[in-house]
Amino acid sequence: MKKSTSPQLVIVGSIGIDTIETPREKRVEILGGSVSYACAAASFFVKTGMVGVVGTDFPPEHRALWEKMGIDLAGLQTAEGKTFRWSGIYEANMDNRRTLLTELNVFERFTPELPEAYRDAPFLFLGNIAPELQLHVLEQVRSPEFVLIDTMDLWINIAREKLVEVVGKCDMLTLNESEARLFTGAHSLMDAAETLLAMGPEFVLIKKGAAGSMLFSKNGIFLLHAFPLADFKDPTGAGDTFAGGLMGALAESGRTDEKSIRRAMLYGSVTAAFGVEEFSLERLATIDRQQIEARADTLKSMCRME
Protein backbone atom coordinates (compact mmCIF):
# COMPACT_ATOMS: atom_id res chain seq x y z
CA MET A 1 0.00 0.00 0.00
CA LYS A 2 1.29 3.47 -0.86
CA LYS A 3 2.27 5.77 1.95
CA SER A 4 -0.34 8.40 2.73
CA THR A 5 -0.40 11.51 4.87
CA SER A 6 -4.02 10.71 5.73
CA PRO A 7 -4.92 7.79 8.00
CA GLN A 8 -5.35 4.47 6.22
CA LEU A 9 -7.24 3.17 9.26
CA VAL A 10 -9.75 5.08 11.39
CA ILE A 11 -10.79 3.78 14.80
CA VAL A 12 -13.80 5.08 16.74
CA GLY A 13 -14.45 4.26 20.39
CA SER A 14 -14.19 5.23 24.03
CA ILE A 15 -11.39 6.94 25.92
CA GLY A 16 -11.31 6.56 29.67
CA ILE A 17 -9.40 7.03 32.87
CA ASP A 18 -9.36 3.69 34.68
CA THR A 19 -8.75 2.50 38.20
CA ILE A 20 -7.91 -1.20 38.10
CA GLU A 21 -7.26 -3.69 40.89
CA THR A 22 -5.84 -7.14 40.27
CA PRO A 23 -4.93 -9.78 42.89
CA ARG A 24 -1.39 -8.37 42.94
CA GLU A 25 -1.64 -4.66 42.32
CA LYS A 26 -3.92 -1.63 42.18
CA ARG A 27 -3.42 1.23 39.74
CA VAL A 28 -5.34 4.48 40.01
CA GLU A 29 -6.32 6.90 37.23
CA ILE A 30 -4.51 5.30 34.28
CA LEU A 31 -5.20 5.67 30.57
CA GLY A 32 -7.82 3.30 29.14
CA GLY A 33 -10.69 3.07 26.69
CA SER A 34 -11.27 0.93 23.61
CA VAL A 35 -9.96 3.44 21.06
CA SER A 36 -6.85 4.08 23.12
CA TYR A 37 -5.83 0.40 23.16
CA ALA A 38 -6.86 -0.23 19.55
CA CYS A 39 -5.07 2.80 18.10
CA ALA A 40 -1.90 2.01 20.05
CA ALA A 41 -1.84 -1.52 18.63
CA ALA A 42 -2.65 -0.42 15.07
CA SER A 43 0.02 2.29 15.11
CA PHE A 44 2.79 -0.30 14.70
CA PHE A 45 1.48 -1.14 11.24
CA VAL A 46 -0.19 1.84 9.58
CA LYS A 47 -1.08 5.51 10.04
CA THR A 48 -4.12 5.44 12.31
CA GLY A 49 -6.70 8.12 13.06
CA MET A 50 -8.37 8.29 16.46
CA VAL A 51 -12.00 9.37 16.94
CA GLY A 52 -13.10 9.79 20.54
CA VAL A 53 -13.80 12.36 23.24
CA VAL A 54 -11.98 13.46 26.38
CA GLY A 55 -12.80 16.03 29.02
CA THR A 56 -10.95 19.21 29.90
CA ASP A 57 -9.39 17.28 32.80
CA PHE A 58 -7.60 14.86 30.46
CA PRO A 59 -3.89 14.60 31.40
CA PRO A 60 -1.63 16.08 28.69
CA GLU A 61 0.89 13.26 29.11
CA HIS A 62 -1.63 10.78 27.70
CA ARG A 63 -2.10 12.90 24.59
CA ALA A 64 1.67 13.18 24.30
CA LEU A 65 1.99 9.38 24.43
CA TRP A 66 -0.46 8.98 21.55
CA GLU A 67 1.47 11.56 19.54
CA LYS A 68 4.74 9.76 20.26
CA MET A 69 3.19 6.56 18.91
CA GLY A 70 2.32 8.40 15.69
CA ILE A 71 -1.46 8.29 16.16
CA ASP A 72 -3.34 10.98 14.23
CA LEU A 73 -5.47 13.00 16.68
CA ALA A 74 -7.45 15.18 14.26
CA GLY A 75 -10.60 13.25 15.22
CA LEU A 76 -10.10 13.64 18.97
CA GLN A 77 -12.71 15.88 20.58
CA THR A 78 -12.23 17.78 23.84
CA ALA A 79 -15.45 18.65 25.64
CA GLU A 80 -16.04 20.73 28.75
CA GLY A 81 -16.25 18.43 31.75
CA LYS A 82 -14.68 15.24 33.06
CA THR A 83 -13.33 12.34 31.02
CA PHE A 84 -15.11 8.98 31.16
CA ARG A 85 -14.13 7.03 34.30
CA TRP A 86 -14.20 3.28 34.93
CA SER A 87 -13.12 1.25 37.93
CA GLY A 88 -12.98 -2.53 38.23
CA ILE A 89 -11.50 -5.38 40.20
CA TYR A 90 -10.29 -8.72 38.85
CA GLU A 91 -10.78 -12.04 40.60
CA ALA A 92 -7.90 -14.39 41.33
CA ASN A 93 -8.17 -16.17 37.97
CA MET A 94 -7.84 -12.79 36.14
CA ASP A 95 -10.68 -13.86 33.82
CA ASN A 96 -13.65 -12.55 35.78
CA ARG A 97 -13.91 -8.91 36.75
CA ARG A 98 -16.41 -6.80 38.62
CA THR A 99 -17.20 -3.21 37.72
CA LEU A 100 -17.09 -0.93 40.74
CA LEU A 101 -17.78 2.42 39.09
CA THR A 102 -18.81 3.80 35.71
CA GLU A 103 -19.03 7.54 35.11
CA LEU A 104 -19.82 8.38 31.49
CA ASN A 105 -19.19 12.12 31.91
CA VAL A 106 -18.41 13.71 28.49
CA PHE A 107 -18.72 10.31 26.78
CA GLU A 108 -22.46 10.40 27.48
CA ARG A 109 -22.82 13.25 24.98
CA PHE A 110 -20.27 11.96 22.47
CA THR A 111 -21.24 12.17 18.81
CA PRO A 112 -18.39 10.98 16.56
CA GLU A 113 -17.61 13.39 13.73
CA LEU A 114 -14.98 12.44 11.18
CA PRO A 115 -12.52 15.01 9.87
CA GLU A 116 -12.58 15.32 6.10
CA ALA A 117 -9.26 13.47 5.79
CA TYR A 118 -10.74 10.47 7.63
CA ARG A 119 -13.75 9.99 5.37
CA ASP A 120 -11.82 8.31 2.57
CA ALA A 121 -9.88 5.95 4.84
CA PRO A 122 -10.06 2.45 3.33
CA PHE A 123 -10.21 0.66 6.69
CA LEU A 124 -12.59 1.44 9.56
CA PHE A 125 -12.89 -0.09 13.02
CA LEU A 126 -16.01 0.87 14.96
CA GLY A 127 -15.29 0.02 18.56
CA ASN A 128 -17.76 -0.78 21.28
CA ILE A 129 -20.11 2.23 21.21
CA ALA A 130 -23.87 2.52 20.78
CA PRO A 131 -25.10 1.08 17.46
CA GLU A 132 -26.74 4.36 16.46
CA LEU A 133 -23.34 6.05 16.80
CA GLN A 134 -21.74 3.32 14.69
CA LEU A 135 -24.40 3.95 12.04
CA HIS A 136 -23.72 7.69 12.30
CA VAL A 137 -20.07 7.07 11.46
CA LEU A 138 -20.98 4.82 8.53
CA GLU A 139 -23.04 7.68 7.11
CA GLN A 140 -19.90 9.86 7.04
CA VAL A 141 -17.47 7.51 5.28
CA ARG A 142 -17.46 7.37 1.50
CA SER A 143 -16.41 3.94 0.31
CA PRO A 144 -14.42 1.96 2.91
CA GLU A 145 -12.85 -1.28 1.72
CA PHE A 146 -13.29 -3.05 5.05
CA VAL A 147 -15.35 -2.27 8.15
CA LEU A 148 -14.97 -4.11 11.46
CA ILE A 149 -17.43 -3.51 14.28
CA ASP A 150 -17.30 -4.57 17.92
CA THR A 151 -20.22 -4.77 20.31
CA MET A 152 -21.18 -5.93 23.79
CA ASP A 153 -24.03 -7.40 25.84
CA LEU A 154 -25.42 -3.97 26.75
CA TRP A 155 -26.24 -3.11 23.13
CA ILE A 156 -27.54 -6.63 22.48
CA ASN A 157 -29.98 -6.14 25.35
CA ILE A 158 -31.12 -2.55 24.83
CA ALA A 159 -30.49 -1.72 21.14
CA ARG A 160 -30.87 -4.99 19.29
CA GLU A 161 -32.73 -3.59 16.26
CA LYS A 162 -30.08 -0.93 15.59
CA LEU A 163 -27.32 -3.45 16.24
CA VAL A 164 -28.74 -5.86 13.66
CA GLU A 165 -28.84 -2.96 11.20
CA VAL A 166 -25.20 -2.02 11.71
CA VAL A 167 -24.08 -5.67 11.60
CA GLY A 168 -25.66 -5.88 8.17
CA LYS A 169 -23.47 -3.01 6.98
CA CYS A 170 -20.08 -4.30 8.16
CA ASP A 171 -17.58 -6.72 6.65
CA MET A 172 -16.65 -8.32 9.96
CA LEU A 173 -18.33 -8.51 13.35
CA THR A 174 -16.27 -9.25 16.45
CA LEU A 175 -17.63 -10.18 19.88
CA ASN A 176 -16.83 -12.63 22.65
CA GLU A 177 -18.37 -16.07 23.05
CA SER A 178 -20.92 -15.12 25.72
CA GLU A 179 -22.07 -12.16 23.59
CA ALA A 180 -22.38 -14.41 20.53
CA ARG A 181 -24.63 -16.77 22.49
CA LEU A 182 -26.69 -13.90 23.92
CA PHE A 183 -27.14 -12.26 20.53
CA THR A 184 -28.29 -15.44 18.79
CA GLY A 185 -29.78 -17.61 21.54
CA ALA A 186 -27.55 -20.47 20.36
CA HIS A 187 -25.30 -22.40 22.72
CA SER A 188 -23.04 -23.79 19.99
CA LEU A 189 -20.62 -21.17 18.69
CA MET A 190 -20.90 -22.73 15.24
CA ASP A 191 -24.67 -22.22 15.28
CA ALA A 192 -24.23 -18.70 16.67
CA ALA A 193 -21.75 -17.81 13.94
CA GLU A 194 -24.06 -19.17 11.25
CA THR A 195 -26.86 -16.94 12.52
CA LEU A 196 -24.57 -13.91 12.69
CA LEU A 197 -23.23 -14.47 9.18
CA ALA A 198 -26.82 -14.56 7.93
CA MET A 199 -27.20 -10.97 9.19
CA GLY A 200 -24.82 -9.79 6.46
CA PRO A 201 -21.13 -9.69 7.44
CA GLU A 202 -18.67 -11.75 5.44
CA PHE A 203 -16.73 -12.68 8.57
CA VAL A 204 -17.54 -13.25 12.24
CA LEU A 205 -14.67 -13.22 14.71
CA ILE A 206 -15.42 -14.68 18.13
CA LYS A 207 -12.89 -13.80 20.84
CA LYS A 208 -12.18 -16.43 23.48
CA GLY A 209 -9.70 -14.62 25.71
CA ALA A 210 -6.72 -16.77 26.68
CA ALA A 211 -8.14 -19.54 24.50
CA GLY A 212 -7.61 -17.45 21.36
CA SER A 213 -10.13 -16.63 18.65
CA MET A 214 -12.32 -18.21 15.97
CA LEU A 215 -12.90 -16.78 12.50
CA PHE A 216 -16.06 -17.90 10.72
CA SER A 217 -16.90 -17.37 7.04
CA LYS A 218 -18.60 -19.17 4.18
CA ASN A 219 -15.30 -21.01 3.70
CA GLY A 220 -15.38 -22.55 7.17
CA ILE A 221 -13.59 -21.98 10.48
CA PHE A 222 -10.10 -20.78 11.33
CA LEU A 223 -8.78 -21.25 14.88
CA LEU A 224 -5.94 -19.22 16.35
CA HIS A 225 -4.56 -19.69 19.83
CA ALA A 226 -3.59 -16.72 21.95
CA PHE A 227 0.15 -16.19 22.38
CA PRO A 228 1.02 -18.04 25.61
CA LEU A 229 2.51 -16.00 28.45
CA ALA A 230 4.12 -17.20 31.64
CA ASP A 231 2.78 -14.15 33.46
CA PHE A 232 0.86 -10.95 32.82
CA LYS A 233 -0.37 -8.00 34.85
CA ASP A 234 -3.58 -6.59 33.40
CA PRO A 235 -6.01 -8.09 30.85
CA THR A 236 -7.97 -4.83 30.47
CA GLY A 237 -8.23 -3.83 26.82
CA ALA A 238 -6.81 -7.10 25.48
CA GLY A 239 -9.70 -7.57 23.04
CA ASP A 240 -9.36 -4.00 21.76
CA THR A 241 -5.59 -4.40 21.39
CA PHE A 242 -6.16 -7.63 19.48
CA ALA A 243 -8.67 -5.98 17.13
CA GLY A 244 -6.48 -2.91 16.66
CA GLY A 245 -3.43 -5.00 15.82
CA LEU A 246 -5.50 -7.10 13.43
CA MET A 247 -6.90 -4.08 11.62
CA GLY A 248 -3.53 -2.35 11.51
CA ALA A 249 -1.88 -5.39 9.93
CA LEU A 250 -4.77 -5.81 7.51
CA ALA A 251 -4.66 -2.15 6.48
CA GLU A 252 -0.91 -2.39 5.97
CA SER A 253 -1.40 -5.34 3.63
CA GLY A 254 -4.04 -3.47 1.66
CA ARG A 255 -5.92 -6.74 1.19
CA THR A 256 -9.20 -8.06 2.59
CA ASP A 257 -9.17 -11.71 1.50
CA GLU A 258 -9.47 -14.45 4.12
CA LYS A 259 -5.79 -15.42 3.97
CA SER A 260 -4.82 -11.83 4.76
CA ILE A 261 -7.33 -11.69 7.63
CA ARG A 262 -5.91 -14.89 9.13
CA ARG A 263 -2.40 -13.44 8.96
CA ALA A 264 -3.64 -10.19 10.52
CA MET A 265 -5.23 -12.17 13.38
CA LEU A 266 -1.80 -13.54 14.23
CA TYR A 267 -0.44 -10.00 14.56
CA GLY A 268 -3.44 -9.07 16.67
CA SER A 269 -2.72 -11.97 18.99
CA VAL A 270 0.94 -11.13 19.56
CA THR A 271 0.25 -7.40 19.97
CA ALA A 272 -2.42 -8.15 22.57
CA ALA A 273 0.02 -10.42 24.40
CA PHE A 274 2.47 -7.57 24.72
CA GLY A 275 -0.28 -5.26 25.96
CA VAL A 276 -1.34 -7.39 28.93
CA GLU A 277 2.21 -7.66 30.24
CA GLU A 278 1.80 -4.25 31.88
CA PHE A 279 -1.05 -1.92 32.81
CA SER A 280 -2.61 0.51 30.33
CA LEU A 281 -0.36 1.22 27.30
CA GLU A 282 2.83 0.94 29.32
CA ARG A 283 4.16 -2.18 27.57
CA LEU A 284 3.02 -1.15 24.09
CA ALA A 285 4.90 2.13 24.57
CA THR A 286 8.20 0.24 24.99
CA ILE A 287 8.15 -2.21 22.07
CA ASP A 288 8.88 -1.87 18.36
CA ARG A 289 7.91 -3.61 15.16
CA GLN A 290 10.96 -5.88 15.29
CA GLN A 291 9.80 -7.34 18.60
CA ILE A 292 6.32 -7.88 17.19
CA GLU A 293 7.76 -9.72 14.18
CA ALA A 294 9.91 -11.93 16.42
CA ARG A 295 6.91 -12.90 18.53
CA ALA A 296 4.84 -13.49 15.38
CA ASP A 297 7.48 -15.89 14.10
CA THR A 298 7.39 -17.71 17.43
CA LEU A 299 3.62 -18.09 17.31
CA LYS A 300 3.81 -19.38 13.73
CA SER A 301 6.30 -22.02 14.87
CA MET A 302 4.05 -23.03 17.75
CA CYS A 303 1.12 -23.53 15.36
CA ARG A 304 3.07 -25.50 12.75
CA MET A 305 1.83 -29.07 12.31
CA GLU A 306 4.98 -30.65 10.85
State which H helix or E strand residue 53 sits in: strand 48-55
**Can you tell me whether residue 97 is helix, strand or coil?**
strand
Output the pLDDT for position 191: 97
The DSSP letter of residue 151 is -
Inter-residue contact 13 to 258 (CB < 8 Å): no
Which residues are CB-contacts of 283 (< 8 A; sequence separation ≥ 6)? 274, 275, 276, 277
> Residue ranges of the domains in the chain?
9-303
Report the distance separating Cα 84 and Cα 89, nearest Å: 17
Output the pLDDT for position 92: 84
Beta-sheet pairing, 26-32 with 16-21: antiparallel
pTM value? 0.95
Looking at the chain, list the stretches that DSSP marks H as alpha helix, in order from N- to C-terminal side.
34-42, 60-68, 131-138, 153-158, 160-167, 177-184, 189-197, 238-253, 258-275, 289-303
Name the CATH superfamily, with its identifier, for domain 9-303. Ribokinase (3.40.1190.20)
Report the distance separating Cα 171 and Cα 277, nearest Å: 31
Which residues are CB-contacts of 162 (< 8 A; sequence separation ≥ 6)? 130, 131, 132, 135, 155
Angle at Cα 271 formed by Cα 268 and Cα 272, nearest 5°? 85
Q: State the burial class of residue 64 (Cβ atoms within 10 Å of its Cβ: 0-12, 13-18, 19+).
A: exposed
pLDDT in tens, the chain (306 residues): 444 578 999 999 999 999 999 998 999 999 999 999 999 999 999 999 999 999 999 999 999 999 999 999 999 999 999 999 999 999 888 878 899 999 999 999 999 999 999 999 999 999 989 999 999 999 999 999 999 999 999 899 999 999 999 999 999 999 999 999 999 999 999 999 999 999 999 999 999 988 899 999 999 999 999 999 988 999 999 999 999 999 999 999 999 999 999 999 999 999 999 999 999 999 999 999 999 999 999 999 998 777
